[in-house]
Amino acid sequence: MSQQDDLFKNIVSHCKEYGFIFPSSEIYDGLGAVYDYGPYGIELKKNIQDFWWKAMVQLNENIVGLDSAIFMHPTTWKASGHVDAFNDPLIDNKDSKKRYRADVLIEDVVEKYRQKNAKEVEKAKGRFGDAFDETQFLATNPNILRNQQKIDEIEGKFKTALEAGDLEAIKQLIVDLEIADPVSGSKNWTDVRQFNLMFATQLGSLADDSNTIYLRPETAQGIFVNFLNVLNTSRQRIPFGIAQVGKAFRNEIVARQFIFRTREFEQMEMQFFVRPGEEMQWYEHWKAERLKWHKALGFGENKLRYHDHLKTAHYANAAVDIEFEFPFGFKEMEGIHSRTNYDLTQHEEHSGKKLRYFDPELNQHYVPYVVETSVGLNRTFLAVMCNSYKEEALENGESRVVLALPAFLAPIKVGVLPLMKKDGLPEKAREVMSLLKFDHQLFYDEKDSIGKRYRRQDALGTPYCITIDHQTLEDNTVTLRDRDTMAQERIAIDKLPEIVAKKVGWKHLL
């Protein structure tokens, strides 16, 4: 098992042990790829969601919010193309009986070549030092060129097969690349089949086909069908956006890697309505804006990358992913799509209602074009966890696990700890609590030694701890301990609200 596998396993156990994430219905041995968020998980998830809402809705006068229902009229999904085309290509291994997504098996091979090239670059950097010219190296090094040729060849064949919907060609590519089942090592594959990812259920008590409705597989369609309602009530003019956070459901073929891919998840989506012909400029705008947002979550430059789509979805004329480097490789966290006027036009056709905008400047009616930003809340949660989890050796020979979360995201902002459970220290600590509790999520803890209590807060990602000691009773000062440096400073109690608010604020980030 690689170091990265070990690290990921430790992150997963940490999430369970410290009350971030539990397997769903665990007492019944869980349910595949469904998870529950515990006391600290819900706080962290909520903070990420709030940060998205603030960045998108609060800070943009021309973006408004919406909360549409999960159930929608079934024609919605006919119009959007999901009934006919929301499929993944699946393939089974006949020996291990394990099921895979054919596209993922192929993409994994491509990623291996990419990683090989990244390693070549790293090695060369070390060898040539300051004299290293990366552009020239990429253009001339024979190993790099050979790997790149392989990548282009695979992607070329894959793209042709996808565009033609040619499942046999996809299977042939898997055979030609000699892809083996990662579990059994066997190359004994079935044919590739398409599998629709939507969950269906029945509305009302009659189980007949006409009552079949779907659990929404994306939140976007709730925005499109409300386009006119929002336009007519929000005094917005094009360009403007509608933002929504909500649950989506997909019957994923393979749901592994913890909360990375689950069957029930949350999306934070924004559909931005623009003049036809102006979509590419807005696409570039949102591409840049969204990367900025991810950086504000504390992800380093080298942890994020853009990845252009090989084949755009049936509704899009441009699409890019923002990927984060998880311990299991670079993977999609957000999709930014130029969706043209596809969805609104489809809904016009299926509903018989006009979904148009009158542009007073052009004196013209048109169906707006749409640029979408769609990010997974749970995936962002996982990225934040992976980015923050650290196992540190301390100078005194001990070790600690610390979640170096950006302070504004931390589930608990301040741990309030009386040094002892006597001499009036708990009472004084309660006074400090009352001073801060209306503005921040706090944690009061008087059990165990102070060292153990600090460790517990480090493991939860609490950026600051306030300790109330005997000196506090004399001069009304406390110590404020910083999670990352473990340094402590003495501070007057009446200064705490201002200092803490500054430290855990998010204003400077956007």
Residues that bind ligand ATP (CB under 6 A): 218, 250, 252, 261-262, 265, 267, 332-335, 374-376, 378-379
Give the nearer residue to ligand ATP in terms of CB position, either 105 or 429. Answer: 105
Q: How far apart are the first and last CA of the chain?
A: 40
Task: Tell the smallest beta-carbon distance from residue 217 to ligand ATP (Å).
Answer: 8
Give the nearer residue to ligand ATP in terms of CB position, either 93 or 378. Answer: 378
- Cβ neighbours of residue 72 closer than 8 Å, sequence gap 6 or more: 213, 214, 216, 221, 222, 225
Give the nearer residue to ligand ATP in terms of CB position, either 181 or 372. Answer: 372
The Cα–Cα gap between 295 and 242 comes to: 23
Other residues' Cβ atoms within 10 Å of the Cβ of residue 371: 28
Give the torsion sign (CA, 437, 443, 447, 449).
Answer: negative
The answer to whether residues 388 and 380 touch, using CB atoms and an 8 Å cutoff, is no
Give the nearer residue to ligand ATP in terms of CB position, either 265 or 454. Answer: 265
Give the nearer residue to ligand ATP in terms of CB position, either 290 or 453. Answer: 290
Give the nearer residue to ligand ATP in terms of CB position, either 48 or 442. Answer: 48
The answer to whether residues 266 and 245 touch, using CB atoms and an 8 Å cutoff, is yes
Bridge partners for 326 per DSSP? 329
Task: Tell the smallest beta-carbon distance from residue 3 to ligand ATP (Å).
Answer: 25
Query: What crossing angle do the helices spanning 167-176 and 102-128 adopt, rounded to 10°?
Result: 40
Bridge partners for 464 per DSSP? 414, 482
Distances (CA, A) of 127 to 120, 122, 138, 146: 11, 9, 15, 21
Give the nearer residue to ligand ATP in terms of CB position, either 309 or 400. Answer: 309
Least Cα distance to 42 among 296, 437, 381, 299 occurs for 381
Task: Tell the smallest beta-carbon distance from residue 372 to ligand ATP (Å).
Answer: 8
Task: Tell the smallest beta-carbon distance from residue 420 to ligand ATP (Å).
Answer: 46
Give the nearer residue to ligand ATP in terms of CB position, either 325 or 332. Answer: 332
Task: Tell the smallest beta-carbon distance from residue 310 to ligand ATP (Å).
Answer: 11
Give the nearer residue to ligand ATP in terms of CB position, either 293 or 443. Answer: 293
- Cβ neighbours of residue 241 closer than 8 Å, sequence gap 6 or more: 56, 60, 62, 63, 64, 270, 271, 272, 273
Task: Tell the smallest beta-carbon distance from residue 195 to ligand ATP (Å).
Answer: 13
Task: Tell the smallest beta-carbon distance from residue 199 to ligand ATP (Å).
Answer: 12
The answer to whether residues 408 and 506 touch, using CB atoms and an 8 Å cutoff, is yes
Task: Tell the smallest beta-carbon distance from residue 250 to ligand ATP (Å).
Answer: 5
Half-sphere exposure of 170 (CA within 13 A, CB side): 25
Least Cα distance to 200 among 72, 323, 291, 17 occurs for 72
Task: Tell the smallest beta-carbon distance from residue 495 to ligand ATP (Å).
Answer: 41
SS3 of residue 160 by DSSP? helix
Task: Tell the smallest beta-carbon distance from residue 322 to ligand ATP (Å).
Answer: 8
Give the nearer residue to ligand ATP in terms of CB position, either 20 or 357. Answer: 20
The Cα–Cα gap between 50 and 245 comes to: 10
Give the nearer residue to ligand ATP in terms of CB position, either 297 or 480. Answer: 297
The Cα–Cα gap between 411 and 314 comes to: 40
The Cα–Cα gap between 485 and 465 comes to: 12
Q: Which residue is nearest to ligand ATP, using beta carbons?
A: 376
The Cα–Cα gap between 55 and 32 comes to: 33
Task: Tell the smallest beta-carbon distance from residue 104 to ligand ATP (Å).
Answer: 8
